[in-house]
Amino acid sequence: MAEADFELARLNMVRRQLAARGIDDPRVLTAMSKVPRERFLPPSLQADAYADRALPIDCAQTISQPFIVALMTQAMRLTGSERVLEIGTGSGYQAAVLAELAREVVTVERHADLSRGAGAVLAELGYRNVTLFCGDGTLGHPDRAPYDRIMVTAASRDVPAPLFDQLAEGGILVIPLGGRDYQNLQAIEKRPGHPLTIDLSPCRFVPLVGDQGWPEERWR
């Protein structure tokens, strides 16, 4: 596909898959219309870049469905001043969308090959406000804490305690919670006493593997 064809497909995706289904934050819609999803996919899958579904990437991971990317991003209510922690860099696509909307993005990926590949694409696209780390995302990245927002792009049974500890008071954490085959996407606002939780959507993500997540052998 030519660049113009990808751009048209991207704009159609924003109109038909996002705006028509309740994504109404203009900054999120603008970001989704700018970030070239095809650049984060292998050549064999680029023609499907704007399909309404998740797609496989290396290391048995996925690049999320565009609607889910937009829904999670909108739930974070970004204004442009925030430091965001992303757990699960994957292809780097979600990090690019966040980089369009936040002051700083710190993203952690346990697969070194994915982290290197995502970093290369993000650099080629000119994103300078994204810092990538390879490690156990269930432990967060305490050196840059606290974070105004945290996004977890893998499924967990519970919110890992280190992530909630690294979330600033008044901050928002977006995470899919549940079991292996079914999760519920939630936005959790950190408040004194009890957090405020909002259910966003049923979903299905790859597992959050690590010290505070699922043991890897349970998901093979």
Chain segment 32-47, per-residue pLDDT in tens: 999 999 999 999 999 9
Report how far apart the first and last C-alpha atoms of the chain are (Å, whole number).
Answer: 35
Please provide the size of the chain in residues.
220
Domain residue ranges of the chain, discontinuous segments joined by +: 53-219
Burial grade of 37 (CB within 10 A; 0-12, 13-18, 19 or more): buried
Residues assigned a catalytic role: 64
| 10-residue stretch averages of pLDDT, the chain, 220 residues long | 90 97 98 98 95 93 96 98 98 98 98 97 98 97 97 96 97 95 95 91 93 69
Q: 53-219 is classed in which CATH architecture?
A: 3-Layer(aba) Sandwich (3.40)
